[in-house]
Amino acid sequence: MEEISRRRLLIAGGALGTFGALGLASPVHARSLWTWSPAGSVAGKGAGLDPEWVWDDEIDAIIAEVIERGQVPRVNDLLRNWLRNDQPLPAGLPGDLRDWMEEARRLPSWADTGKLQDAVGFTRKKGLYTGILYGLGSGLLSTAIPREARAVYYSKGGADMKDRVAKTAKLGYDVGDLYAYKPQGSMIATSVRTRLVHAAVRHLLPQSPGWSRTSGGQTIPISQADMMVTWHSLPTYVMGTLKKWKVPMTATEREGFLHVWQVTAHMLGIRDEYIPATWAEADSQSKQVLDPIIANTSEGEALTDAILEIVAEVDAGLTEPLINAFSRYIVGDSVGDKIGLDREPLLQPVINNAWPLVVAFREGLIPLPLIPSIAWTLEEALRRFVLLFMSEGRDIHLEIPDANRPS
């Protein structure tokens, strides 16, 4: 009898839920030399420095001092209710941190309110697709990225993956929210606080023996290169998949979606000279920085087990074979094999045929009678997943860590 794996036991009964960050399993590949030109960026120019050796120096130094002074608990308490873009910063923050945050919360001069509104319209029309791809598709890629897997695993957040997944969901919720970068929205506050978390991780992780042992020579985590890799696992991956699914989109909608993520990259601390100006430039950069580094890590495998324990708590009406088949459909067999998704030779062709029909029907391209019943099972389960995924992001507090993962 075939041995029943722990993975199959955990996922049995069907769940999609927070299927977010499955780990991969192949050797770490060497990183490509940086050749992407800043002429293709939103800045249109730049020094051309390899982003591998660029971080977020000013806030990194400030947060290191906050940690060393033992001020993290007080700062987290003060920022707990700083949630809206238009809220003043709370009194009592360390002066250097407060000054930096006031500057960091400003939108870039090139932010276009019209295009940001176009992004809102796009998300409202295509929210089912983007929700699935943020929560499931991008999640499947996240620990397929060795550095990201290790940074998550060895940082404080790696010890509580349910909380970590919820915080990841918050970013997807806020960036697609109706008010995102408007005064009553939350995306500015979310972005600034995320930069604080990243700065803390950069200070703390080099002190972790586990991370240092597996970092492949990287001395400081979450470089600008690492951030661009993660960025491409979100909007670039999502847009590419929507095109494969033949989801109808206007040029205005595509540009709006790109623009909200360009602004988000800037607000998360990525330098303008690294942010692609067009989808063509985004695809070009992604092929250089993301595609070659997909690989296995033991940390990713461990995170897979942790995530699947969360998945087992949620039943979105999908069976294990249906999850495997749809997951392979959205990430492809190459990634599916690396993350250990079972092959489903009977269901896979059904999903491959059914999902395009769901998309076509939702877009008014074909009539109801042509939709097979399994397509409705899949569509309803995924719709429920998106509602769960979005709701996870509402009352989550992004807190600065003051330690690494407990041993």
41-87, pLDDT tens digit by residue? Answer: 999 999 999 999 999 999 999 999 999 999 999 999 999 999 999 99
d(CA 170, CA 164): 10
Confidence of residue 330 (pLDDT cuts 50, 70, 90): confident
204-238 confidence digits (pLDDT tens): 999 999 899 888 889 999 999 999 999 999 999 99
Q: What was the pLDDT predicted at 11?
A: 27
Residue pair 120/261 in contact by the 8 Å Cβ criterion? no
Q: pLDDT tens digits, residue range 251-280?
A: 999 999 999 999 999 999 999 999 999 999
Q: Which is more confidently placed, 368 or 78?
A: 78
d(CA 110, CA 92): 32
**Residue 121 predicted with pLDDT over 70:** yes
The torsion defined by the Cα of 62, 230, 150 and 63, in degrees rounded to 10, comes to: 10
Q: Is the pLDDT of residue 3 over 70?
A: no
Task: Name the pLDDT band for 166 (thresholds 50, 70, 90).
Answer: low
Closest CA to 356 of 366, 341, 369, 342: 366
For residue 376, what pLDDT band results from cuts at 50, 70 and 90?
low
Give the global pTM. 0.85
